[in-house]
């Protein structure tokens, strides 16, 4: 364990899309140099999950596996640990990935979607880093990151790619009931998952850009047909390299310091 915080501008939050591989080593890219296999840092919210560092074509990148979720640590605390570190390290651009269920009947397993908005139905409303900001969420995801992910996905992925959609966030770890999925559909959700919030809030709180790509791993309950565990497993283990390649390709084309407007949506609080 170390308390010295290295400075990095880019970060990848790994989810179920890359969980089954050793990211980024398994991509076997000549422009990737792994610096270490994981360092734990002390944070005000407990020890962080192991954070791996690598260089990608001259970019310094920090990455963490499965959103930092692990036994004995609440998901809210894991998010605080990760994003506190990101803030201290000066991270400017964050790409996350994950697996989701399709609420929209037009989406099917193995589709890729780059969410453009969200509906937060989680109970973790008080997850923050205590910084004195008013967070404006009219542009929740960074247009530059979204554009890079869509471009990379359309060039790499053989399946369908959707460049927008509404991500409904629930707490899990159970899947939603059929009645809940009907409610989400009526509310305008396209997909359902458990990770976009509070990540999107914490990214804005530290002044970082955030975007994500998600693979549809199952139909939500009551949509089209009942999902099968074997199909879920096949997607998790069969498409990891594709998801990792999309994330890495998009990351390689990002530029720091570009005026995308995200940082302007973090305002000084009016409550002092």
Helix (H) or strand (E) holding 193: strand 191-193
Q: Which of 112, 144, 105, 71 is nearest to 213 (CA)?
A: 112
Helix (H) or strand (E) holding 250: helix 240-253
Identify the structural domains of the chain with CATH numbers, from first to last. 10-256 (3.40.50.1580)
Chunked mean pLDDT (size 10), the chain, 272 residues = 83 93 94 94 96 96 95 94 97 97 96 98 87 94 97 97 97 90 97 96 97 96 87 86 96 85 91 72
Residues 179 and 183: their CA atoms lie apart, in Å, by: 6
According to the model, what pLDDT value does residue 3 have? Answer: 67
Enumerate the β-bridge partners of residue 41. 2
According to the model, what pLDDT value does residue 144 have? Answer: 96
Residue 201's SS3 state is helix
According to the model, what pLDDT value does residue 14 have? Answer: 95
Neighbouring residues of 118: CB distance < 8 A, sequence distance ≥ 6: 140, 166, 167, 168, 169, 196, 197, 200
According to the model, what pLDDT value does residue 69 have? Answer: 92
According to the model, what pLDDT value does residue 1 have? Answer: 53
According to the model, what pLDDT value does residue 154 have? Answer: 97
Residue 200's SS3 state is helix
pLDDT tens digit sequence for 151-181: 999 999 999 999 999 999 999 778 999 999 9
């Amino acid at each position: 364990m170390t308390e010295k915080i290295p400075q990095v501008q880019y970060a990848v939050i790994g989810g179920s899309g890359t969980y089954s591989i050793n990211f980024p080593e398994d991509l076997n890219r000549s422009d990737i140099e792994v610096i270490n296999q994981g360092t734990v840092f002390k944070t005000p919210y407990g020890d962080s999950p192991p954070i791996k560092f690598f260089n990608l074509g001259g970019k310094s990148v920090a990455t963490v596996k499965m959103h930092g979720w692990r036994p004995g640590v609440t998901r809210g605390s894991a998010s605080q640990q990760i994003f506190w570190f990101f803030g201290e390290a000066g991270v400017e651009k964050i790409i996350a990935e994950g697996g989701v269920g399709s609420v929209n009947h037009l989406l099917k397993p193995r589709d890729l979607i780059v969410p453009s908005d969200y509906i937060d139905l989680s109970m973790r409303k008080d997850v923050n880093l205590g910084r004195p900001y008013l967070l404006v969420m009219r542009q929740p995801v960074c247009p530059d990151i979204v554009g890079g992910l869509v471009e990379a996905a359309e060039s790499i992925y053989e399946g369908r790619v959707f460049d927008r959609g509404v991500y409904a966030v629930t707490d899990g770890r159970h899947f939603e009931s059929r009645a809940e999925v009907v409610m989400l559909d009526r509310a305008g959700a396209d997909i359902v998952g458990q990770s976009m919030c509070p990540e999107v809030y914490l990214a804005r709180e530290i002044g970082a850009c955030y975007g994500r790509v998600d693979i549809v791993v199952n139909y939500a309950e009551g949509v089209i047909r009942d999902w099968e565990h074997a199909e879920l497993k096949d997607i998790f283990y069969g498409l990891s390299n594709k998801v990792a390649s999309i994330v890495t390709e998009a990351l390689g084309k990002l530029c720091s310091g570009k005026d995308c407007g995200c940082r302007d949506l973090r305002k000084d609080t009016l409550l002092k």
